[in-house]
Amino acid sequence: MGKKEELTEIVGSQQVIVDTHRLEKLSRDESFVCPARPAFIVKPHNIDEVQQIVKWANETLTPLVPISSGVPHFRGDSVPSVDGAVITDLSDMKKILRVDRKNRVAMIEPGVTFDELCGELEKEGLRPNMPLLPRRRKSVVGSVLEREPVIMPKYHWDIIDPLACTEVIFGSGDLYRTGAASGPGTIEEQWKSGEAQKSHAEPLADWCRILQGAQGTMGIVTWATIRCELIPDLEEPFIVGSSSLPGLFELIHWLVRLRLADECLVLNNAHLAHILAKQWPDEYERLRDSLPPWMLFFCISGYEYYPEEKVSYQIEKMMDIARRAGVKPVKELDKVTAQKLLKIIQKPSEEPYWKTRAKGSCYDIFSLATYDRIPELIKVMNNTAEENGYPVADMGIYLQPVVQGTSYHCEFNLFFNPANPEEVNKLKNLSHQAIKPLMNNGAFFSRPYDTWVDTVYEIDAETTASLRKIKGILDPNNIMNPGKLCF
């Protein structure tokens, strides 16, 4: 029996895809990783099938690349690094297994998208702590496994949030449940005792943290529990425009420290213009040129108890801090209303995905840094962009305070036309040249992708060695997405 027949036995013939066109599509994405052609796509329905696939891959030493989201893919992590891999596509596992209002948590399979989850949560008065404008078909589990930053930093207590527990088939083929879900007892028995799979740690380890940021190199997650937050009763959003960052950072520090704001993020004019514009280039350029260089957006929210009173004293306090910081929160800035922006970022992106609207594609370079290093990082990127002939005025910048304001996710968006080889080449050079100087100026690449990986691991030999030891424990035959990260 050939590999295709063996896989068909596990999942059924409908679920093994050999269509050359579709395989070709998954052999590349919007990043610059070298294309490698997968052998098949296999689409399991449930954990038993996932486990059989992983066991089969161990026996046949076939590389597996797990994916959960629909196209487009961006960061090269779901493009096989080696030929002959089997893409394990979990997008058919779409069940929302539980929504628990009281404990603010949802248990979902990897195929569930933000669109689908938001809809179900809303019925219970809940919402996810979302990344900024994910694409419609982005898997929620995929997003939390990637440690994507979320837009409400006050609920981001730990970098693992909003991920809580998972059910996983490790690369070894073993089934494991992380965190409180590990037991004692089955999940149903745990529910009876009031447990809601909120605690991500087992007694002696916190394996979920190993699955996160692993780009599918450790195992395949078959469900996850996601921390959720309440939908507010009253929302008062604000925008603060500024030509420089220090005043905004000062205000953000207090907004997070005093738990005044729910949503809280900073965008530059190009970024916001890309989000808002519907027509290119006219509307985009008009917006970009009329907006101030930086915009802080935040929302003060009131909940069940006396929401007006809460929001009112919080606004008073916020205004006082803003005055001292020398910045001015407003409800409308150059015809952009805070309310409109709030509604936009509380949902996944409209189709077509906002990052692809302008030029067809977008390349992101992102890292973590403390607030005081960000101006230097921006300088580095501006210089590198200029050197490579990329128009600095069109570079999007997104600054997201994370983990209760301890650092910022600092993201540069380089919009480009993938059909234009000259533009692609320029960008390849740019991304290659930017990483080292960014690192030298305080950027930490906690989630390295694409061609940055080597530069990032090169300087931390002990972390690299330790990660490889763990990989040896969970995936001894190196079948899970081989070639990624330092594996």
Q: State which residue, 257 or 379, has the beta carbon closest to another protein.
A: 257
Q: Which of 9, 309, 332, 351 binds another protein (CB under 8 A)?
A: 309
Q: How far is the CB of 409 from another protein (least distance, A)?
A: 10
- The residues, ordered by sequence, that sit 6+ positions from 51 with a Cβ below 8 Å of its Cβ are 169, 173, 175
Place of tokens 């997968």: 38
Q: Which of 114, 294, 354, 445 binds another protein (CB under 8 A)?
A: 445
Q: State which residue, 211 or 345, has the beta carbon closest to another protein.
A: 211
Which helix (H) or strand (E) segment holds residue 62: the answer is none
* Helix ranges (DSSP H) in 199-280: 207-211, 246-257, 269-276
327 binds another protein (CB under 8 A): no
Q: State which residue, 27 or 455, has the beta carbon closest to another protein.
A: 455
User: CA 430 to CA 386: how far, in whole Å?
Assistant: 9
Q: Write the DSSP symbol of residue 158.
A: S
Task: Classify residue 186 as exposed, middle or buried by CB count within 10 Å of its CB (0-12, 13-18, 19+).
Answer: exposed
Angle at 127 between CA 123 and CA 128, to 5 degrees: 140
Q: 175-234: which residues touch another protein (CB under 8 A)?
A: 176-177, 180-186, 189-190, 192-199, 201-215, 217-218, 227, 230
User: CA 80 to CA 203: how far, in whole Å?
Assistant: 35
32 binds another protein (CB under 8 A): no
User: CA 380 to CA 426: how far, in whole Å?
Assistant: 16
Q: 76-115: which residues touch another protein (CB under 8 A)?
A: 102-105
User: CA 277 to CA 123: how far, in whole Å?
Assistant: 31
Residues 465-472: contacts with CB under 8 Å, at least 24 apart: 470/210, 470/218, 471/171, 471/217, 471/218
Q: State which residue, 180 or 430, has the beta carbon closest to another protein.
A: 180
Q: State which residue, 127 or 177, has the beta carbon closest to another protein.
A: 177
Q: 391-410: which residues touch another protein (CB under 8 A)?
A: 403-407
User: CA 96 to CA 243: how far, in whole Å?
Assistant: 44
Binding segment for another protein (CB under 8 A), chosen from 3-11, 23-31, 383-391, 444-452, is 444-452
Contact present, 344 and 265 (Cβ < 8 Å):
no
CA-nearest of 26, 148, 33 to 91 is 26
Q: How far is the CB of 260 from another protein (least distance, A)?
A: 10
435 binds another protein (CB under 8 A): no
Q: State which residue, 214 or 333, has the beta carbon closest to another protein.
A: 214
Q: Which of 273, 369, 374, 397 binds another protein (CB under 8 A)?
A: 369
Q: Which of 135, 136, 147, 355 binds another protein (CB under 8 A)?
A: 147
Total of chain residues touching another protein, rule CB under 8 A: 96
Q: 156-185: which residues touch another protein (CB under 8 A)?
A: 157-160, 176-177, 180-185
Q: Which of 48, 82, 84, 259 binds another protein (CB under 8 A)?
A: 259
Q: 348-367: which residues touch another protein (CB under 8 A)?
A: none
Bridge-based pairing state of the strands 105-108 and 96-100: antiparallel
Q: State which residue, 311 or 397, has the beta carbon closest to another protein.
A: 311
User: CA 479 to CA 219: how far, in whole Å?
Assistant: 9
245 binds another protein (CB under 8 A): no
Contact present, 207 and 111 (Cβ < 8 Å):
no
Q: State which residue, 92 or 206, has the beta carbon closest to another protein.
A: 206
Q: State which residue, 32 or 176, has the beta carbon closest to another protein.
A: 176
